[in-house]
Amino acid sequence: MFDYIISYYNYWMYAGLMMIGFYGMMAKRNLIKKIIGMNVFQSSIIFFYISSSVKRGGVTVPIIKHVAGAHGSHGVDVMQYANPLPHVLMLTAIVVMVATLGVALAVAILIYRRYHTLEEDEIILCMRKG
Amino acid sequence: MILPFDLILVLFVYICAVAALTTRDLLSAVMILGAYSYFMCLLWTEMAAVDVAFTEASVSAGIGTILCIGAISKTKRRSND
Amino acid sequence: MKFLSLITVLLVGVALVYGTLGMPRWGDPNSPAATHVSPYYLEHSMHDTATPNVVTSVLADYRGYDTLGETSVIFTAGMSCILLLRKRRKHKEEDHV
């Protein structure tokens, strides 16, 4: 049972973070709070991908230290290094996350200029009045 | 990957996420979000993803916090929930 | 409203935890994510691109078009921010209804 929990708890961690972000996106009425919830949500997905690149048993960062022979598998022991492919994909995802944050904040500033509030229910009241 | 260190960092990440979503002052919520990004960065250094940790510390915790502070200075600081 | 969203979030969480039951164990060196193409990158990166850092060589060399698409996304986001936030002088009456 303890072994089972050790092998699977990272998935439960990312599920919990995703639930926190999702609740923030749906239940909070302030627009900045919704954007913060979106940030937590995206971070949880990046956490899931990065945790799928971990290998147990003395792995190091994916930087090749020394190459002994230049033939065959080029002298690299694959089991010593972490999986580099999720790192590359998540580098792209982090930068896209900040771009999404910038556009969302720009739209929030526009909404504030027009309705002079950031609360969702007051914005809906203003829209119904005119 | 060290198990107790991992568990402590994940606990801090959870505390920062919940605190950023429940604080009524938006400026402190954004600051707590920056702390959340730094704990995520430590977590990824511990998972042997150093390039992702660099990018997180510079882009998400730096530029993201600056963008949020700029947006809050253009709008209101108080929040109702 | 809060109760309804709490119910939805709990349902999503239960579905996610149910979905993780078929995932490989954490840190398994023979998991599907670590067996197909990433050993090729680790073994051939030094020979192909002469870069010790495998993440950099994959980001800029093997998957350069991915990075090009990311750069175009950043450019689009910056342009849309500028277009959204510029001051419009002529149509000032329409802005403040």
Distance in Å, alpha carbon of C90 to nearest chain A alpha carbon: 16
pLDDT computed for residue C25 by the predictor: 87
Q: Closest-CA residue in chain C for A12?
A: C17
pLDDT of residue A44: 94
Q: What does the pLDDT read at residue A64?
A: 85
In chain C, the number of structural domains is 1
pLDDT value of position C96: 55
List the structure tokens of B2.
């060290």
Q: Look at the block and give the residue holding tokens 């694959």.
A: A78
Q: Which of B50, B46, B43, B47 is nearest to B10 (CA)?
A: B43
Q: Looking at A101-110, C61-70, C86-95, which range is the least confident one?
A: C86-95
- Count other C-beta atoms under 10 Å from residue B7's C-beta: 11
Give the residue with greater pLDDT, C51 vs A130.
C51
Contacts of A86 (CB under 8 A, 6+ apart): A49, A50, A52, A53, B49, C33
Contacts of A111 (CB under 8 A, 6+ apart): A31, A118, A123
Distance from CA of B53 to the nearest CA of C (A): 12
How high does pLDDT run on average in chain C? 86
Rounded to whole angstroms, the Cα distance separating C71 from C61 reads 15
pLDDT > 90: what percent of chain A? 58
- This model of the complex carries an ipTM of 0.92
Cβ-nearest to A90 among B36, B52, B74: B52
Does residue C47 belong to any structural domain of this protein? yes
C54 falls within a domain? yes
Partners of B25 in the β-ladder: B78
Whether residue B57 is predicted with pLDDT greater than 70 in this model: the reply is yes
SS3 C24: coil
Number of domains composing chain A: 1
Domain assignment present for C8: no
Domain assignment of residue A67, yes or no: no
CB pairs under 8 A between B and C: 4
Of C10, C33, C45, the CB nearest to A86: C33
Whether residue A73 is predicted with pLDDT greater than 70 in this model: the reply is: no
* Residue A81 bridge partners (DSSP): A60
| Distant-in-sequence, close-in-space partners of B9: CB < 8 Å, separation ≥ 6 | B39, B42, B43, B46
Query: Rounded to whole angstroms, how far apart are CA atoms A23 and C56?
Result: 36
How much is the pLDDT for C23?
A: 86
Task: Please give the residue range of the domain that contains residue C77.
Answer: 37-86
| Mean pLDDT along residues A82-94 | 92
User: Cα angle vertex A51, ends C77, A16, to 5°?
Assistant: 80
Which of B37, C34, C77 has the alpha carbon at shortest distance from A100? C77
**Average pLDDT of every residue of chain B:** 92
- CA B32, chain centre distance (Å): 6
| DSSP class of C89 | S
- Whether the Cβ atoms of residue B10 and residue B43 lie closer than 8 Å to each other: yes
Whether A71 has a pLDDT exceeding 70, the answer reads no
In a domain, A30, yes or no: yes
Considering only CB atoms, which chain A residues are within 8 Å of B46? Answer: none
What pLDDT does residue C87 have? 80
Find, in chain B, the residue whose alpha carbon is nearest to that of C56. B51
Q: What local confidence, expressed as pLDDT, does residue C74 receive?
A: 94
Nearest Cα to Cα of residue B79 among B10, B40, B35, B23 = B23
A124 belongs to a structural domain:
yes
Interface of B with C in 15-54 (CB under 8 A): 51
State the average pLDDT for chain A: 88
Is residue B6 within 8 A of residue A21, CB to CB? The reply is no
State the Cα–Cα distance between residues B19 and C96, nearest whole angstrom: 35
Q: Is the pLDDT at B53 greater than 80, yes or no?
A: yes
CATH code, A22: 1.10.287.3510
Q: Would the pLDDT of A27 be above 80?
A: yes
pLDDT, position A40: 95
Read off the amino acid at residue A105: L
Per-residue pLDDT for C92 more than 90?
A: no
Range name among A92-101, C5-14, C31-40 with the lowest pLDDT average: C31-40
Residue A16 lies in a domain: yes
Domain contains A122: yes
**Does the pLDDT value for residue C84 go beyond 60?**
yes
Query: What are C28's two structure tokens?
Result: 């398994």
Q: Is residue C70 part of a domain?
A: yes
Which chain B residues have a beta carbon less than 8 Å from that of A101?
64, 67-68
Residue C10 clears pLDDT 70, i.e. is over it: yes
The whole domain housing A79 covers 2-61+72-129
Question: For position C38, what pLDDT does the model report?
Answer: 87
Distance CA C56, CA C53 (A): 6
Confidence bin at B67 (pLDDT 50/70/90): very high
The answer to whether the CB of B25 falls within 8 A of the CB of B81 is no
What's the whole-number mean pLDDT along residues A31-50?
94
- Range 5-64 of B in CB contact (< 8 A) with A: 10, 13-14, 17-18, 20-21, 26, 29-30, 33, 36-37, 40, 43-44, 47-52, 55-56, 59-60, 63-64
Q: What is the mean pLDDT of residues A117-127?
A: 91
Residue C66 lies in a domain: yes
Residue C97 counted as domain residue: no
Between residues A89 and B80, which one has the greater pLDDT?
A89
Q: What is the pLDDT of residue A6?
A: 83
Which chains have at least 3 CB atom pairs separated by less than 8 Å from chain C?
A: A, B
- Min CA distance, A68 vs chain B (Å)? 23
Distance CA C20, CA B35 (A): 29
- Token output for B81: 């929930």
